[in-house]
Structure 1
Amino acid sequence: MIKAGENGNDRSVTQTVRAQLALRDLVLRGELNPGERVSELQMVERLGVSRTPVRSALIRLEEEGLLEAIPSGGFSVKTFSEKEVFEAIEIRGTLEGLAARLAAERGVSRAEIRNAANCLEAIDELMRRDTTDIDLSRYVELNAHFHEILVGMADSQALARQLERASALPFASPSALVPVQSRSPEMNYILSVAQDQHHCVLAAIERREGARAEAIMREHARIAHRNLERALTNQRDMDLVPGSVLIKRRIRA
């Protein structure tokens, strides 16, 4: 039975989530320009919701790193240098490496190993079935799931929170740059290397090899670096990078 007031709370939560999603979409699609000031009142009018959910959305996007507070009040849309984007990916890889090491050193259950192995088997099957035209949307879904399982194995809420923050930047998440690979003649090779690293890190965790598990996941993030380097030299590829409108590219000769 729903108690009095619960419907109001549910509506408030729904409005807050809706405001967060809508505001994030405006930023990532470039409808709010990098560096543009974003005020609470402005977003109330634009999103069509009340001030409380808008305020929560603004604070949430600041926490995610997409907005930054400005001294005069309000927020501005953040811009990122190429160096900052590479660093964001490196930070995510470092944290995932720590998660793998903690999982290996603390030990994980057979059920957790089986769960991760099932996910990898699904990726293997996908890659075997579609050798010439891999379903990237399904791959991205399974890849994200495996990374989530890995973080869960570490059994650290503090680390999970930091990883959630690091991965909130759209170009730094584990699958963010996979679409760039779709235009590379080496796509299948790169996906095979990434999948082999998945299998190797799971084996290292199962064998309690913490240092090896950590090193594999840090190296795994380098695939994203490689995809980013490719995208930065080709506008068509850059258009596939989530949040690319926020990246200030340096002038190349």
Structure 2
Amino acid sequence: MPAPATENERSFSQTVKAQLSLRDLILSGDLKPGDRISELSMVERLGISRTPIRMALVRLEEEGFLEAIPSGGFAVKAFSERDIHDAIEMRGTLEGFAARLAAERGVRNSVLIEMKQRLAQLDELVGQPTLTVDDFSQYVGLNGQFHALLIDAADSAVLARQIDRALNLPFASPSGFVMVQAMLPEARQILTIAQDHHHCVVRAIEEREGARAESLMREHARLAHRNLQLAFRNQGTRDLVPGAVLIRKPVPARY
């Protein structure tokens, strides 16, 4: 029989549960930008004790979803397109460095084999005559696995921790806007470009071309910003962006 969970393990589990529940409330729009969040109100709403709620609020502030209020408590934060662009650039810079390290240090053969297996699976998916929402959902999973393998290839615990922190920034995930593509006429072109980036970066890593591998991953990350711009062309696709309610619409310039 497994040993019973310790008090610290139970507390950690409750904190994670609170963090995920609060993040879902924010991304779904149940908690809107500017809404004040107090520990007591969330204790009642989520049925989780006060200490895990307090820790979850601190973590969500670190992730950028909340901002501390001088008088106490937290408020849901709004984001500009520039904020999102910066988060994507941060992730691209770190993933680019991971690709460079992988190329310059060399990669375990087992990791390269796994990366190529994911490439083959993505090729098969992207090469289909038509793509359904389920196909895009499958792409999200495979794409996430490929990016995780890239980080593994760098073999740097320090860098992996920094990338993990960057991925927690709102809208910075490699697959953050992929599902939006299911509604975009440009979907096929963007996925084809993204998959070509994947192939090229694996080749660059194999051939020990560090600078090229780094440049490719930075450019690859910028596809997410392109997806965002396309999604914002109309309200229908804008609403498909996870957490779109948090994104401020740009104010039209006055002349």
8 A contact 1:34–1:79 mirrored in 2 = yes
Deviation at 1:35, TM superposition (A): 1.8
Deviation at 1:131, TM superposition (A): 2.1
Identity of aligned residues (%): 61
* More deviation, 155-164/80-89: 155-164
Deviation at 1:9, TM superposition (A): 4.4
- Which residue of structure 1 aligns with residue 235 of structure 2? 235
Number of aligned positions between the proteins: 251
- Which residue of structure 2 aligns with residue 133 of structure 1? 131
- Which residue of structure 2 aligns with residue 33 of structure 1? 32
Q: Deviations over 1:14-67 (max 9, x none)?
A: 322221111111111111111222111121111111011111211221121111
- Which residue of structure 1 aligns with residue 174 of structure 2? 174
Deviation at 1:233, TM superposition (A): 2.4
8 A contact 1:81–1:247 mirrored in 2 = yes
1-side partners of 2:61 and 2:109: how far apart? 39
* More deviation, 223-232/114-123: 223-232
RMSD: 1.7
2-side partners of 1:164 and 1:244: how far apart? 22
Please identify runs of 4+ aligned residues in structure 1 that moved more than 6 A.
none
SS of the aligned residue for 2:45 comes to: helix
- Which residue of structure 1 aligns with residue 106 of structure 2? 107
* More deviation, 64-73/22-31: 64-73
For the pair 1:212 / 2:216, whether they are aligned, the reply is: no
TM-score normalized by structure 1? 0.93
1-side partners of 2:2 and 2:216: how far apart? 49
1-side partners of 2:183 and 2:49: how far apart? 43
SS of the aligned residue for 2:183 comes to: coil
Partner amino acid for 1:237?
T
1-side partners of 2:80 and 2:120: how far apart? 38
Residue segments in structure 2 that go unaligned for 5+ positions in a row: none
Deviation at 1:157, TM superposition (A): 2.0
- Which residue of structure 1 aligns with residue 72 of structure 2? 73
TM-score normalized by structure 2? 0.92
1-side partners of 2:23 and 2:202: how far apart? 34
1-side partners of 2:147 and 2:174: how far apart? 7
Deviation at 1:77, TM superposition (A): 0.9
Q: Deviations over 1:108-146 (max 9, x none)?
A: 111111011111111112223x32124000001000110
- Which residue of structure 2 aligns with residue 202 of structure 1? 202
2-side partners of 1:131 and 1:62: how far apart? 43
